[in-house]
Amino acid sequence: MCSLDDGERCEVWRETERRARKAHTCGSCGARIPAGDSYVRHFSVFDGDVCDVAVCSPCRSARAEFQAAHGAVLTPDMTMEMFHECLDSFGPEDCTPAERRAWVARRDPYEARWRVLLAAMKRRCWRAGGREQAIARRREVAAGRAERARGVA
């Protein structure tokens, strides 16, 4: 399994479960949280950076499952990026797709689950009109891959 926890912790971490009195936007997937739905209000401070977001129930569950499997603590705004990073860290680069799938199956039994959860997050984001956010995240992930490739080469 990939290792995502660098051991650094937030200076402040608070999560409270709430019922929405008005519509909110999920800080993980960008989906709309309608009034009346339950959600989690997340507030944290890390190296002076504040994260204060609402998190929809599906993203909360996905993040909790991912954190439990990796032993890492993720802020909601990093969840989708960490799913991508975890999935991108599988397997040697110079192998066929079949070899890569076999290697992944041996390495991380959760890999298929992460792909399903990430796909669901993306669907919610696209449905919510978060296309710009999804495109920006996709570009960030691609830039990170390119940067890692330059560092490896």
56-95 residue pLDDT tens: 998 898 888 888 877 778 888 888 778 777 776 655 555 6
Three-state DSSP state, 138:
helix
Residue 1: pLDDT band with limits 50, 70, 90: very low
User: In this structure, what are the phi and psi dihedrals at residue 34, rounded to the nearest 5 degrees?
Assistant: -70, 155
Exposure of 62 in the CB half-sphere (CA atoms within 13 A): 27
Q: Rounded to an integer, what distance in angstroms lies between the CA atom of residue 57 and that of residue 6?
A: 26
Q: Rounded to an integer, what distance in angstroms lies between the CA atom of residue 106 and that of residue 2?
A: 13
**pTM higher than 0.75:** no
